[in-house]
Amino acid sequence: MLRRLILPVIALVLAYGFWVSPTFKDIAAGIAVFLFGMLCMEEGFKAFSGGGLERLLRSTTDRTWKSLSFGMLTTALMQSSSLVSVITISFLSAGLIGLAAGIGVIFGANLGTTTGAWIVAGFGLKVNISAYAMPLLVFGVLLLFQKRRGIKGAGWILVGLGFLFLGIHFMKEGFAGFSDQLDLTKYAVGGVAGLLLYTLFGAVATVIMQSSHATLLLIITALGAGQITYENALALAIGANVGTTITAVLGAVGAPVDGKRLAGAHLAFNIGTGLIALAFIEPFVMAVDAVSASIGIRPDDFTLKLAVFHTLFNGVGVLVFTPLITPMARVLTQTLKGERLTHDSARYLSEVSLEFPDVALTALRRETHHLFDNAFTIIAHGVNLKRADITAGRDLHELLHDRSDVIEIDIDQQYERMIKDIYSADMLFFTRAVSAKMPEEQANKLQGLWQANLDIVAAIKAAKHLRKNLLRYSRSPNLFIRKEYNRLRIRIGELLGDLSVLRQDEHDAVAMLSLDEIKVHLADSHRFAHQVVDSLIRDGSVTAQMATSLMNDSMYANEIMAHLLSMAEGLMAASIEADEHAPDLSLTPEEVQAMVDEMHSGNLDVMHEDRSQ
């Protein structure tokens, strides 16, 4: 109810303000244009998020100092800590970075955001900034009409910068006009009460505007126009820092557990830093005076001194909290746990991942691997094979003659518990990802992953059909039929083993080409099995009923293997770069067949020695 009322109340207050004061209109328009500029810049930077992002992130966040620098530099460059937070949560949810690295990035972003105060105080208020805004807007719009994604992105950034500058100009003008009508310094409150009151104002203003950057701009322009006192401006700046955390916490409510943990670290950092700044305000003010004097800032240049203060207290926060990153990550992981579910669910997909094509692709790839992991166990147990036997590289041919040990499994129930939720989440994620604008290369890879998901589910369904007769005949007293069913089990087990080994390899062109050998092996085994079935029927070693069951079940086994192979191709294709030559070097179906023919014609007879045992 309260939430529903907030927007109309704010709109009414604003409308009343516009009616009674034209200068208030200028200030509010300045904030709106500034925020719009930030949105444009975010849009522009998103255009550059495709390609190599994963690699860049891995190499820039493997150490604490690197993740701090990454957060600081990206925020300074993009002038938006909220965009950096969103990117970090999406990376974290997709499993691209760990929690400690994510916390490092967020701490760095807090320091990076202080550059905004320097830009506004040092540049925005000192020069006629609107003179720069106009050419930026013109060039930006010109680039926006271009087709290439990168150029378009640069256009958005220029337009964003133009609007940022224009917003600063409007606010400066607004406050200049405001000072002729009203002197807000009459409402200044001194002492501890003032400190606490204005900290609260700063926090509330940031929650309303959803941007500490905009609040800081408001504070600096008001301070520059002499509408607020320096002491109250310091408290407002502390409040802005606390307020931005509330925005992050609200944003994390519906986020996955990783997002909640990161918001927890953000909250601890900003509240902790805010408390330090409030408790040691006097020493901070003295330190600001000393630093300002040493770098040549005039004692009465309060806007630049505010920028010094903002940098100083955030810097102290980073110094205090950086050694605590690892214990903080540990405590957050222990206290904020994901829901315990009886059904396995998606681990890497999140709303924020959809914002960046590369992250969306990585998230879906990892989730498909997760789905395959679960399917691996179901299919292996479905053919009475233990997962450990397959992954440990045991020679499965030892099982050829034995009566198989039955592994109890209800495939339908396991499908409901281990597959269905992940599969549904993957499909929903895919649909939403492709409906957003994304480069063709990533869209094609996503399509491949979608197919891989379908293949996994189809393989499980085929395993369910196969299991019915397999349970009966792999324990049959008839050695011939038992051997053939065991052969089906072995072929499926070998394929699962091969695919799990491939997964451990680097996802490069060579790994993708390894699938060719699996194809040759499968085609060879298939032809061999076919010949054996023919001879068994001819010799009367199996009954007609057994023979038809075997033929049907061979088809199910082939179906399982074909789907698993297709799944592996989709997963591999999503991992390699578009200009790799793997597809050109890969064997065509005709070449695979020719190789199998060669094996059977005797050129590679040695390979089939004693195979019919």
Partner 1 sequence: MKTTKLIDKFQKLISKGPEETPTKKLCKTIKALKDKQKDLESRLKRTEGKHARQRLRQKIQVLKAQRRKGVELYRSLKAAVKH
| Binding stretches for partner 1 (CB under 8 A) | 395, 397, 508-510, 513, 516-517, 520-521, 524, 579-582, 584-587, 591, 595, 599, 604, 606-611
Q: Which is nearer to partner 1, 339 or 395 (CB)?
A: 395
Residue 146 CB, nearest distance to partner 1 (Å)?
14
| Minimum gap (Å) between residue 600 Cβ and partner 1 | 13
What is the sign of the dihedral through the CA atoms of 424, 426, 427 and 433? Answer: positive
* Cβ closest to partner 1, residue 89 vs residue 599: 599
CB of 611 to partner 1, least distance (A): 8
Question: What backbone torsions phi and psi does residue 94 show, to the nearest 5 degrees?
Answer: -80, 0
Q: Which is nearer to partner 1, 188 or 400 (CB)?
A: 400
Shortest distance, position 513 Cβ to partner 1, whole Å: 6
Angle at 71 between CA 68 and CA 73, to 5 degrees: 105
Q: Is 346 left (phi over 0), alpha (psi -120 to 50) or beta?
A: beta
Three-state secondary structure call for residue 329: helix
Nearer of residues 192 and 510 to partner 1, judged by Cβ: 510
One-letter amino acid for residue 362 of the chain: T
Residue type (1 letter), 48: F
d(CA 190, CA 369): 60
Say if residues 466 and 383 touch (Cβ distance below 8 Å): yes
Residue with Cβ nearer partner 1 (387 or 397): 397
Q: Which two tokens stand for residue 292?
A: 């300002």
Measured from the CB of residue 601, what is the shortest distance to partner 1 in angstroms? 13
Least distance to partner 1 from the beta carbon of 394, Å? Answer: 11
Instruction: CB nearer to partner 1: give 472 or 608.
Output: 608
Closest CB 585 distance from partner 1, rounded Å? 5
What radius of gyration do the chain's Cα atoms show? 32
Q: From the CB of 381, what's the least distance to partner 1, in Å?
A: 23
> Least separation, in Å, of the C-beta of 578 and partner 1?
11
The whole-angstrom separation of Cα 279 and Cα 273 is: 10
- In angstroms, the CA 458 to CA 448 distance is 15
Yes or no: say if 565 and 522 are a contact pair by the CB < 8 Å rule: yes
Contact 380, 390 (CB under 8 A): yes
CA distances from 414 to 410, 452, 558, 568 (A): 6, 19, 22, 22
Which of residues 250 and 585 has its CB atom nearest to partner 1 in the complex? 585
Q: How far is the CB of 487 from partner 1 (least distance, A)?
A: 12
Cβ at position 517, least distance to partner 1 in Å: 4
Say if CB 170 and CB 162 are below 8 A apart.
no
Among residues 421 and 580, whose Cβ is nearest to partner 1?
A: 580
Compare residues 205 and 564 and give the one whose CB is closer to partner 1.
Answer: 564
Which lies closer to partner 1 via its Cβ, residue 171 or residue 396? 396
Nearest to 365 by CA among 426, 437, 415, 424: 426
Provide the minimum distance between the beta carbon of 383 and partner 1 in the complex, in angstroms, as a whole number. 18
Least distance from partner 1 to the Cβ atom of residue 252, Å: 38
Comparison of 192 and 501: residue with beta carbon closer to partner 1: 501
Alpha-carbon distances of 598 from 438, 603, 608, rounded to whole Å: 45, 6, 12
Q: Which is nearer to partner 1, 146 or 181 (CB)?
A: 146
Q: Quick one: tokens of 319?
A: 């110094």
The least distance separating partner 1 from the CB of residue 50, rounded to whole angstroms, comes to 14
CA 454 centroid distance within chain: 23
Q: Provide, rounded to whole angstroms, the least separation between the CB of residue 328 and partner 1.
A: 39
**Given the complex with partner 1, which of 539 and 610 has the nearer CB atom?**
610
Query: Alpha carbon of 577 to those of 186, 441, 481, 573, 584: distances in Å?
Result: 64, 9, 46, 8, 13
User: Per-residue b/e over 98-134, b at no fewer than 16 CB within 10 Å?
Assistant: bbbbbbbbbbbbbbbbbbbbbbbbbebbeeebeebbe
Cα separation, 513 vs 499, in Å, equals 12
Q: 15-30 burial, b for 16+ CB within 10 Å, e for fewer?
A: eeeeeebebbbbbbbb
List of long-range contacts for 330-339, beta carbons under 8 Å, 24+ apart: 332/99, 332/261, 332/264, 332/265, 333/99, 333/261, 335/264, 336/257, 336/260, 336/261, 336/264, 337/257, 338/256, 338/257
- Residue 55 or 330: the one with the smaller Cβ distance to partner 1 is 55
Closer CB to partner 1, 287 or 587, in the complex? 587
